[in-house]
């Protein structure tokens, strides 16, 4: 059995570690490239959203390298993600005997545990739970480093250096042991902090909201966070893999947290219903930022993403009421980086000039 999974930001790191520790053979898809997207689009319905196509590309590339067991998440009743696997199965059937494992986001903890028990039957329960904890810890460390990068990167003259340090720390974490995770995290964050030479300044702040996959995968969002940091703008993101996995596994399993209820309260009165996907969350986070005095909102989603299109109307009302600039980026496989970079640069200029002239 050779297991593979689609890429999404740095999620592959804890997943491959977890599986390797449990003695499962892993064939990781090559990093997302133009070829991945081309392959994925070739085997996908034309109108489907970009994350589907990239997932598909990842699967095909790893199947070509010998993978025969695919694992992915689905979120039944939320958006098209719920049907990804059903459609992907049909398209991939011609590739031969392939085993599909789905982790339902509504029962992430139990599904993940069951999956690990199946692929690693000889591992003890304790070892499996330990590895799940390691995965969450690793993800949270990566999130913390990324947040530090976004915070200090906007308060320095050499943001490139900070981005490099963060990248280096990320690679180190990939090879670290459980015990060293916190050490590497703290060391990276303090090295990042050391480069920050203007702790007192208050750079413009932008809320980056939108669809989950687009926010987390730098290849498809054209490293939008780094682009903004280099313009001297602090980026605040509300979607982090670690936090999400943590609250959707442990906390939810213990009944301490319900993601949907939290956002429903937050988004009132601009959006009072679940619209699927992350639509409600986008609106809720944007409203919170508007009230906190942020300088702008960037909304990013895959072209044709229904929940985010609904959210967009609510976002326009928020932007209007709070007099906030709003940049909407709808991305598909044809989006050229030039167009996106131009818009981001112009948006950053607009916000900076506004802030510093007042």
Partner 1 sequence: MHVYLGIDVGSVSTNIAVLDEFGKVIDSLYIRTQGRPIEAVQNGLRQIKERNPEIKVKGVGTTGSGRHLTGVIVGADSIKNEITAHAVAAMHIMPDVKTVLEIGGQDSKMIIIRNGVVTDFAMNTVCAAGTGSFLDQQAARLNIGIEDFGDKALESTTPVRIAGRCAVFAESDMIHKQQTGHVTSDIINGLCQALVRNYLNNIGKGKQIQSPILFQGGVAANKGIKRAFEEALGCPVVVSPYHNVMGAIGSALLAKEEVTQTKPTVFRGFDVIDFVYTPRSFECSGCANMCEVVEIKMNGNVAARWGDQCGKWSNSVTVA
Site of interaction with partner 1 (CB under 8 A): 30-35, 219, 223, 303, 316, 319-320, 323, 325-326, 328, 330, 338-339, 342-343, 345-347, 349-350, 353-354, 357-358
Residue ranges with strand state E in 241-313: 296-302
Cβ proximity to partner 1: between 130 and 167 the closer is 167
Could you give the CA distance from residue 295 to residue 178 in angstroms, rounded to a whole number?
A: 39
Cβ proximity to partner 1: between 254 and 338 the closer is 338
Cβ proximity to partner 1: between 258 and 320 the closer is 320
Q: How many CB atoms lie within 10 A of CB 65?
A: 13
Cβ proximity to partner 1: between 34 and 89 the closer is 34
Cβ proximity to partner 1: between 259 and 332 the closer is 332
Nearest distance in Å: CB 240, partner 1: 23
> Rg of the chain's alpha carbons, rounded to an integer?
20
Cβ proximity to partner 1: between 118 and 320 the closer is 320
Nearest distance in Å: CB 348, partner 1: 9
Nearest distance in Å: CB 29, partner 1: 10
Nearest distance in Å: CB 334, partner 1: 8
If you ran DSSP here, which 8-state letter would residue 104 be given? E
Could you give the CA distance from residue 119 to residue 133 in angstroms, rounded to a whole number?
A: 18
Q: Tell me how far apart the terminal alpha carbons of the chain are, to the nearest angstrom.
A: 62
Nearest distance in Å: CB 166, partner 1: 14
Cβ proximity to partner 1: between 32 and 215 the closer is 32
In the chain, what's the furthest Cα-to-Cα distance?
Answer: 65
Could you give the CA distance from residue 67 to residue 300 in angstroms, rounded to a whole number?
A: 32
What are the strands of the beta sheet with 69-74, ordered from one edge? 25-26, 2-4, 69-74, 99-104
Nearest distance in Å: CB 316, partner 1: 4
CB 344 within 8 A of CB 227: yes
**Tokens matching residue 82:** 């719920």
Look up tokens 């590895």; give the residue: 131
**Tokens matching residue 353:** 């000039």
Cβ proximity to partner 1: between 247 and 328 the closer is 328
Q: How many CB atoms lie within 10 A of CB 94?
A: 7
Cβ proximity to partner 1: between 33 and 198 the closer is 33
**Tokens matching residue 66:** 């010998």
What are the strands of the beta sheet with 205-210, ordered from one edge? 234-237, 205-210, 296-302, 326-331
Residue ranges with strand state E in the chain: 2-4, 25-26, 69-74, 99-104, 205-210, 234-237, 296-302, 326-331
Could you give the CA distance from residue 307 to residue 211 in angstroms, rounded to a whole number?
A: 9
Nearest distance in Å: CB 267, partner 1: 18
Nearest distance in Å: CB 38, partner 1: 11
Nearest distance in Å: CB 30, partner 1: 5
């Amino acid at each position: 059995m050779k297991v593979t999974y689609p890429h999404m930001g740095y999620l592959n790191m804890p997943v491959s570690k977890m599986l390797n520790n449990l003695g499962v053979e892993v064939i990781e898809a090559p990093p997302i490239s133009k070829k991945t997207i081309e392959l994925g689009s070739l085997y996908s319905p034309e109108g489907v959203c970009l994350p589907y196509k990239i997932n598909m590309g990842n699967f095909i590339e790893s199947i070509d390298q010998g993978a025969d067991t695919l694992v992915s998440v689905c979120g039944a009743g939320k958006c098209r993600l719920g049907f990804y696997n059903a459609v992907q199965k049909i398209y991939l059937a011609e590739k031969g005997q392939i085993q599909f494992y789905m982790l339902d986001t509504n029962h992430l903890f139990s599904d993940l545990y069951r999956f690990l028990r199946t692929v690693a039957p000889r591992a003890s329960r304790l070892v499996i739970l330990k590895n799940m904890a390691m995965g969450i810890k690793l993800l949270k460390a990566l999130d913390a480093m990324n947040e530090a990068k976004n915070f200090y990167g906007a308060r320095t003259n050499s943001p490139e250096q900070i981005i490099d340090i963060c990248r280096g720390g990320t690679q180190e974490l990939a090879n670290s042991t459980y015990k060293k995770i916190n050490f590497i995290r703290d060391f990276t964050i303090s090295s990042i902090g050391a480069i920050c030479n203007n702790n007192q300044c208050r750079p413009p702040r932008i809320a980056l909201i939108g669809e989950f996959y687009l926010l987390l995968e730098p290849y498809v969002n054209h490293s939008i966070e780094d682009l903004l940091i280099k313009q001297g703008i602090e980026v605040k993101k509300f979607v982090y893999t670690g936090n999400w996995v943590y609250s959707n596994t442990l906390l939810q399993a213990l009944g301490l947290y319900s993601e949907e209820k939290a956002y429903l309260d937050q988004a009132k009165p601009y959006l009072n219903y679940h619209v699927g996907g992350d639509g409600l969350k986008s609106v809720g986070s944007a409203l919170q930022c508007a009230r906190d005095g942020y300088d702008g909102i960037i909304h990013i989603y895959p072209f044709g993403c229904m929940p985010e299109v609904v959210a967009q109307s609510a976002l326009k009302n928020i932007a209007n009421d709070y007099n906030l600039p709003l940049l909407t980026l709808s991305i598909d496989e044809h989006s050229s980086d030039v167009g996106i970079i131009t818009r981001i640069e112009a948006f950053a200029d607009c916000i900076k000039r506004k802030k510093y002239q007042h």
